[in-house]
A and B are shown apart, each in its own frame.
Chain A
Amino acid sequence: MSTTALEPIVHHGTVVEHDGHHGGLIPIAPERQLQFNRLGMWLFIISETFLFAGILIMRIVLGRNEDGFTRPELSQSLGLLITSILLVSSFFVNRAEVAIKHNDRFQFNLSTFLAILLGLIFVGGVVYEWDEALNHFKPDGHIEGGLFFFMTGVHALHVITGVLFLLIVFFNGIRGHYSSKSHWGVESAALYWHFVDVVWVFFYVALYLIGTVPETVAH
């Protein structure tokens, strides 16, 4: 039996210099780590998009009933108000991110604080809206009302998560943990906040604008 020479699978040689990390972890450059983080965050947002898309599909499928495509009876002015509040909060989050890029700490802290405040007002608005809506329909009544509580509830849960992120950013920010060079925490919280905001734009349209309110509210 002749075992001939194996094909040379690898060549010997050194590609990367060791610079003292013998057998250890070669550190990842901060810029490279930032790229990892950004990609990971965007993939997470794409993943979440599927969740909200699924919920919107539920709304569109379940919205059609014997009265045509309907929407729940809600206060239009209140809906417009809380939508505006959330959109304005996104502006302040963006302002905070720009400020920390320019090392403007005062503006950064102020904007983050205002964004948190507006986020909390939005959550308060949703709670007030729930209280109002309970006069017309209940979660365990018709699915149309149930979906309103489900969609606003799932979204509000994400807003509360965003507020928690912003609070972490705020408290680390006032202790000076971020700089123009290193502020991934700010960037990711801002990205998440904008995402939750965009989701609400779709949810607002789906709950407040499309469809008709049935003449006789029998639910």
Chain B
Amino acid sequence: MLIPRPLRILYHIGLVRGLVVGIIAMIAGMILTNIVRAAFGMDTMDLLLPLEALFGSTVWQARTNPDTATEVVTGMGAIFFTLGFLAGVGSLNDWFAWSIGRKGGDGHFHPKEGIPTWTRYFSFDTNHKVVGIQYGLTSILVLMVGGLFALIFRTELAQPGLQFLNNQQYNNYIGIHGLLMIAAVLLGVGALSNYLVPIMIGAQDMAFPRLNGFSYWIGVPAAILLLMALPMGGFDTGWTAYPPLSVRAPLGMQFVLLSIFILGFQSIVGSINLLVTIFMMRAPGMTWFRMPIFVWGVLAASLLQFTATQFFGLAFISVLIERWVNIPFYDPARGGNVTLYQHIFWFYSHPTVYIWVLPGLGVISEILPVFSRKPLFGYKPIALSSMAIAFMGYLVWAHHMFTSAMDPFLRLPFMLTTLTIAVPTGIKFFNWIGTLWGGKIHISTPMLFSLGAFILFLLGGLTGPPNGLVVTGIHLHDTHWVVAHFHITVFGGFLFSFLSAIYFWFPKMTGKMFNEFLGRVHFWFMFGGFATFALSLFRIGVLGMPRRYADYQSEWGFGSLNMLATIGAFFAGGSMLIFIFNMAFSARYGVKAAPNPWRSRSLEWQIASPVPEFNFSAIPEIVGHPYDYGLPGAVYAILSPEDQVAPLEDAYTPLDQPEAIGSGVAAVPVAGD
């Protein structure tokens, strides 16, 4: 063998290949753009300037006040980087082969000799479970980075006066925090839906496995470009990128615009894939109203995602075009309209919160019946309320704009649609209460997180109408009340249910059981910390502290509450370290888990853990309803005996063997269902 083994392994890691090819393509693209610009007699960018600033003491002036040449050349560099990365990872190989008339690969994973199998998690892979885990790991990584930025500026806000950040840094950090978290949440939704949907509907993979791998990998250069925004001068607009400020913002702004535009491809392509999978690949007998409720949530979210995302792309790309070629979309002096941006932007950005929470609420609906040992109360209302929320989601966007230049008479219809959306959300809550009512409730980490999500999302829901009502909304607009409302809704609707889902499906993904004690510690730190943070922030907002301000005066009396919020945020953020330790440690050294430790009826729990490469050796047949817990004789599915695994004798099943939980955790007696 001529090439040493470590180098061969490195070559077979798609991520490494993608980065190398991406950087080469980026340099080539920048030089090419310069040549083309020079050929048309336009000014060019000195490509050595950023390098000099990196290795020398010179300041790259164009970062903060970029000229058009710098913008276009670096922007084209970013686009070439993305294309090069995707080609280098190998996500385009088969499509390229098809387009030149070759056969291409078969799209499946084939282990190569001498290359360890863990490399597939860092390479282009078409298996939906690998893609799901890739999404999940990236999501948690981005979540941690985004959270770190939050803790930095939250510490700054703990006391009045500027301690260690200046205004520009503060603006950069709040913007990058918001966008990283949005990316993390979208990746998290991708993780859950990619891993679970095909197994839950009894399919062997997604409808378009290559597209699935591609849709993950296009998110990676997007995340890299997003992080590049900070060294490229940052951006002072916050995550919303409102013009005219975003048109004049530093160079970092265009990396944000490009990154989110590229991330939009991931959303659109991923959701189309999920829709086709759900429409076409359900197992025989799985009618619409026999689908697991999580799949309904993903269906509703995907319907929103594959349409509304186009508007996000349009909003951001129009700002980019205004920066590049100065078409005055958002310059009123030349006939532009700034309010138009807000309409286009919120037409996506309001529905996007439903894209996040609908799968999250689906997880809660999935977990409550398992740990209550009762049928899901009101399956059809819950399923259809997801669709109702998705439909209503299109009609409420302008409630973000009550204080904008929008015609005031529009406030009333948008107030009415906004308040109406509480109805389908309320339907979910009452049905969840109905599910818990009279059930044999087992408190385990996934259930704790689902109940926490329930409480937080309820608080988020109840603090929503004051924003939606015009009279109170105008007072609360752009205060910390809105920040608290948004965060409690997303923590309840997405983050807690995401964590709940990770704990719940961890034994399925790894075949190991996590540490229950650490899971509970994580929950209580996170729930306590976050509740402290959010409730303090509500109070600060009602007192009138505006959001996005780096500082406040001590006489205004926000100081102690801000300190409390910061302490809460640190508890919530720190608890994530416990989570990561628990997951990483348990995945390697954890106790072997039973195939179905929670005694769930869902399809994915009937097969082996970790799930075999193609899930089922024969497509199962669905003959009943998925949530008939405790109903004697109820049958959900008929599986091939090869897929249906017998419980392992020595395996850890917390619901059956409560004494096995051990160390300091309350035992969960199971008195028979």
Contacts and interface: CB of A to CB of B under 8 A. Distances in A.
Interface of A: 1-4, 6-18, 21-26, 32, 35-36, 39-40, 43-44, 46-48, 50-51, 54-55, 57-58, 61-62, 65, 139-144, 146-147, 149-150, 168, 171-172, 175, 177, 185
A1 B667 CA distance: 12
Contacts of B207: 36, 40
A54 B321 contact: no
B656 interface: yes
Interface stretch (B112-120, B216-224, B323-331, B446-454): B323-331
A146 B314 contact: no
List of 10 A-B pairs having minimum Cβ-Cβ separation, nearest first: A146-B327, A4-B672, A143-B335, A140-B326, A50-B310, A51-B310, A16-B618, A15-B621, A54-B314, A43-B272
A45 to B, nearest CB: 10
Contacts of A171: 100-101
Contacts of B635: 8-11
Interface string B309-323: 111011000100100
Contacts of A168: 99-100
Given A6-B673, A12-B639, A39-B276, A48 B634 contact: no
A46 B606 contact: no
Contact of B272 (A1, A17, A40, A146): A40
Contacts of A50: 307-308, 310-311
Given A21-B617, A40-B273, 19 more contacts: A1-B669, A7-B631, A9-B635, A9-B637, A11-B638, A14-B641, A15-B640, A22-B617, A26-B614, A32-B280, A35-B280, A40-B208, A47-B307, A58-B329, A142-B328, A142-B334, A143-B336, A146-B328, A185-B98
Nearest to B99: A168
Contact of B673 (A4, A36, A47, A62): A4
A116 B581 CA distance: 58
Contact of A140 (B313, B325, B613): B325
B340 interface: yes
Contacts of A48: 310
A7 B631 CA distance: 7
Given A9-B635, A150-B327, A142 B306 contact: no
Nearest to A12: B641
Nearest to A14: B640
A182 B136 CA distance: 37
Contacts of B612: 23
B197 to A, nearest CB: 15
Interface residues of B, number: 75
Nearest to A1: B669
Contact of A3 (B314, B321, B670): B670
A139 B68 CA distance: 15
Interface in B607-632: 612-614, 617-621, 623, 628-632
A3 B340 CA distance: 63
A159 to B, nearest CB: 18
Contacts of B621: 15
A15 B636 CA distance: 14
A10 B276 contact: no
Contacts of A57: 344
Contacts of A146: 327-329, 334
B335 A47 contact: no
A171 B100 CA distance: 8
A8 B618 contact: no
Contacts of A61: 337, 340
A25 B110 CA distance: 13
Interface string B545-582: 00000000000000000000000000000000000000
Interface string B652-673: 0000100000000000011111
Contact of B101 (A14, A22, A177): A177
Contacts of B327: 139-140, 143, 146-147, 149-150
21 contacts: A3-B656, A4-B672, A7-B630, A7-B673, A9-B637, A10-B636, A15-B618, A16-B619, A18-B618, A23-B613, A25-B108, A26-B204, A36-B207, A40-B273, A50-B311, A51-B313, A54-B310, A54-B347, A141-B328, A143-B336, A147-B329
Contacts of B337: 61-62
Contact of B328 (A12, A39, A143): A143
B636 A51 contact: no
Contact of B637 (A10, A46, A65, A149): A10
A65 B275 CA distance: 42
B284 interface: yes
B329 A62 contact: yes
Contacts of B638: 10-13, 15
Nearest to B620: A15
A54 B204 CA distance: 37
A2 B280 contact: no
A62 B672 contact: no
A23 B614 contact: yes
Nearest to B326: A140
B310 A14 contact: no
Interface string B251-283: 000000000000000001000110110011000
A9 B340 contact: no
Contact of A7 (B334, B618, B633): B633
A139 B326 contact: yes
B604 interface: no
Contact of A58 (B208, B325, B340): B340
A17 B618 CA distance: 7
Given A11-B635, A15-B621, A25 B669 contact: no
Contacts of B669: 1
B65 to A, nearest CB: 18
B340 A39 contact: no
Given A1-B670, A150-B327, A43 B276 contact: yes
B277 to A, nearest CB: 9
A39 B208 CA distance: 11
Nearest to A19: B618
A144 B335 contact: yes
Contacts of A44: 268, 272
A73 to B, nearest CB: 15
A141 to B, nearest CB: 7
A149 B325 CA distance: 10
A15 B637 CA distance: 11
Given A16-B619, A43-B276, A54-B344, A10 B639 contact: yes
Contact of B606 (A6, A9, A40, A150): A9
B601 interface: yes
B599 interface: yes
B205 interface: yes
Given A8-B635, A9-B635, A35-B280, A15 B313 contact: no
Contact of B344 (A11, A39, A58): A58
B64 interface: no
A46 B279 contact: no
B204 to A, nearest CB: 6
Contacts of B100: 168, 171-172
